[in-house]
Amino acid sequence: MTKTLLLLPGDGIGPEVTAQAARVVDRLNTHHGLDVTTATARFGGAAIDADGVPLTAETLAQAKASDAVLMGAVGGPQWAKQAYDKRPEAGLLALRAGMNVFANLRPAKCFAALADASSLKREIVDGLDILFVRELTGGVYFGEPRGIEDLGNGERRGVNTHVYTSSEIRRVARVAFDLAKHRSGRVASAEKANVMEAGLLWREEVQALRDADYPHIELTHILADNAAMQLVKAPRQFDIILTDNLFGDILSDAAAMLTGSLGMLPSAALGEAGTPGLYEPIHGSAPDIAGQGVANPCASILSLAMGLRYSLGRPDLADAVESAVAAALDGGARTRDIGGMLATAAMADAVLAHL
């Protein structure tokens, strides 16, 4: 049955890298028995300029009616002065919330060919394979009240609310435990239970779910600051790291650098079974290199692979795409961010050549 993939290229390098992932879709359709039709919609700053808002109701409806959504990136200096609800990033948060994709899978995997591009020594990162499961639709990103108020005495007060309910914690923990069954069976859950009530609740709920439904999973709890330290000290001790929205944002960027480049890392945001997933490179819009055709398309191509695995019913083609990326790297193909000279399209050519 034909599946549908909505492309939301967005801003900065988003359109450049998404175009390369779209070439991979075309190739899989014509040569490898994939049956996916693509549509494209405006998103982020591009939508603000054309439609006045970063995510229109039509685009959200189209996303929810698709089998999968592949996003590029959002944001840029030209929109950074807008009020928060008018910024490109607000469109991304609205898309995540609107699609109810509460579990964000962020693999931080070190390709053998790139171990020397890491900021850490090869012996510390070689073979690194961490999977972050980041809660994506709750916590301080969404909590109310929020805002900046004028206290009238020359002072202003900025407020955000870090809030989680037990069901929000349990549903994302369940995703981590289910994934752990197919990996090492180990989950480290990171919070700040020593200073935050919501962190304590997180710890208690995750433990209770494990005790009730996942007795064979080895669960450890780690304070998020210690997790940051351990990530740069001995990252291979981790398999799955389960954490909240804000800590997940920060820790996954740190882990990404261990693997050599932000330009390599994909992500999948998943909701309830049977609902569409949202796939995005974890790198941002990189305005400094946008439009030059030098961005690394691998994170977008690998995000597509995750979409093939989790939403488009073709885990076999996901494996094939991931192997093609690894083979291209083994063959020496490199964009600038990973120490080479290849342009965006040429890097994708190298991947396609191995598909």
Position 168 contacts ligand IPM (CB under 6 A) = no
Rounded to whole angstroms, the Cα distance separating 295 from 340 reads 11
Which of 11, 67, 89, 322 is the binder for ligand IPM (CB under 6 A)? 89
- Contact indicator for 238, 107 with CB cutoff of 8 Å: no
Rounded to whole angstroms, the Cα distance separating 39 from 298 reads 21
The CB-of-207 to ligand IPM minimum distance in angstroms stands at 26
Each residue 169-208 as x (binds ligand IPM by CB under 6 A) or -, in order, gives ----------------------------------------
The residue among 289, 336, 330 whose CA lies nearest residue 350 is 330
The CB-of-253 to Mg ion minimum distance in angstroms stands at 5
Which lies closer to Mg ion via its Cβ, residue 205 or residue 249? 249
Rounded to whole angstroms, the Cα distance separating 99 from 79 reads 24
Position 133 contacts ligand IPM (CB under 6 A) = no
Position 92 contacts ligand IPM (CB under 6 A) = yes
Per DSSP, helices labelled H in the chain are 14-31, 45-51, 57-65, 88-99, 122-125, 166-181, 197-213, 224-233, 245-258, 298-310, 315-330, 344-353
DSSP 195: T
Q: What is 170-187 written as a DSSP string?
A: HHHHHHHHHHHHTTTSEE
Residue 89 binds which one of ligand IPM, Mg ion, none, with CB within 5 to 8 A depending on kind? ligand IPM
Site for Mg ion in 267-326 (CB under 5 A): none
The CB-of-282 to ligand IPM minimum distance in angstroms stands at 6
The CB-of-330 to ligand IPM minimum distance in angstroms stands at 28
Rounded to whole angstroms, the Cα distance separating 333 from 346 reads 9
Position 249 contacts ligand IPM (CB under 6 A) = yes
The residue among 20, 13, 90, 18 whose CA lies nearest residue 48 is 90
Which lies closer to ligand IPM via its Cβ, residue 74 or residue 350? 74
The CB-of-193 to ligand IPM minimum distance in angstroms stands at 22
Which lies closer to ligand IPM via its Cβ, residue 75 or residue 235? 75
Rounded to whole angstroms, the Cα distance separating 25 from 48 reads 28
- Footprint on this chain of Mg ion (rule: CB under 5 A): 249
Binding positions for ligand IPM, rule: CB under 6 A: 75, 89, 92, 249, 282
